[in-house]
Amino acid sequence: MVHGTFFIRNLLSIEVIAVANILVGDELGIITPKDQLVIKPIRKIHGKYDLQDLIALIPSCYQVQEENWGVPLGREVW
- The rounded distance, in Å, linking the Cα atoms of 78 and 49 is 32
Domains (ranges, CATH) in the chain? 4-56 (2.10.260)
Task: Identify the pLDDT of residue 45.
Answer: 59
Q: What is the pLDDT of residue 60?
A: 93
pLDDT in tens, the chain (78 residues): 344 555 666 677 788 888 888 877 778 888 888 888 888 777 765 677 778 889 999 999 999 999 998 898 998 887
Which residues touch 42 (CB under 8 Å, ≥6 apart)?
26, 27, 28, 29
Instruction: Report the pLDDT value the prediction gives residue 15, as an integer from 0 to 100.
Output: 84
